[in-house]
Structures are given as C-alpha cells and as structure tokens.
Amino acid sequence: MYCIIVQTRLKPGTRERFLEAMLPNAEASVREEPGCHAFDVIEDRDEPDLIHLYEIYTDQQALVAHKETSHYKESRAIVNELIAEQKVIRADVLAMNPER
C-alpha cells in the first residue's frame, strides 16, 4: 500500500472554503475509487489553518488515477488558491489497523 500525508497551511480566513471543497473530495475518493482505502482530513488543534490529509492507496498508480477523477479536479480548482504552502510525505504502509 502507498500513503501520502499532505500538510497544507492555508491562507488566513480560507479554512471554511477549503473544507467545503476538500471534505466532499475525500468522501468521494473512498466511496468511488477502488484504489483509495483511506482519505482522512485532519485539523491541527493548535493551528486551525494547518490541515493534514492522510491518504492510503493500493499503489502509486491508484494515486495517479485519483488525480484524474472529477471530484479531485473540482476540489483542486477551488483549493489551489487557498493554499499558502504545502508539503507532501510519501510513504509505504507497513500495517493497517482494521475497523473496530
């Protein structure tokens, strides 16, 4: 499995617009993409303008396919202008814990 952790620092005052675009994208990714196993949107407790995306895909090709979906493209058209800076960590998943 392939994982990316995207750390996104938002421009001041853009959090709500970002979430309005990102939350539906995350939900659609897990619901509609067989290669997307997790897409969590996480807000930093100390810095509300710092959002982390935790995404798990079958492999790197599934991430490439994700970036071709309409929900991804629609969300990126909105969120790109809201981002002050972004950092991506790429990793291999060693273990996934099952749902309880």
Q: What is the pLDDT of residue 100?
A: 55
**Tens-level pLDDT at each residue, the chain (100 residues):** 999 999 999 999 999 999 999 999 999 999 999 999 999 999 999 998 999 999 999 999 999 999 999 999 999 999 999 999 999 999 999 988 776 5
pTM check: above 0.85: yes
Distances (CA, A) of 98 to 24, 29, 46, 77, 90: 23, 19, 29, 34, 22
Tell me the Cα Rg of the chain. 13
Fold of 2-92: Alpha-Beta Plaits (3.30.70)
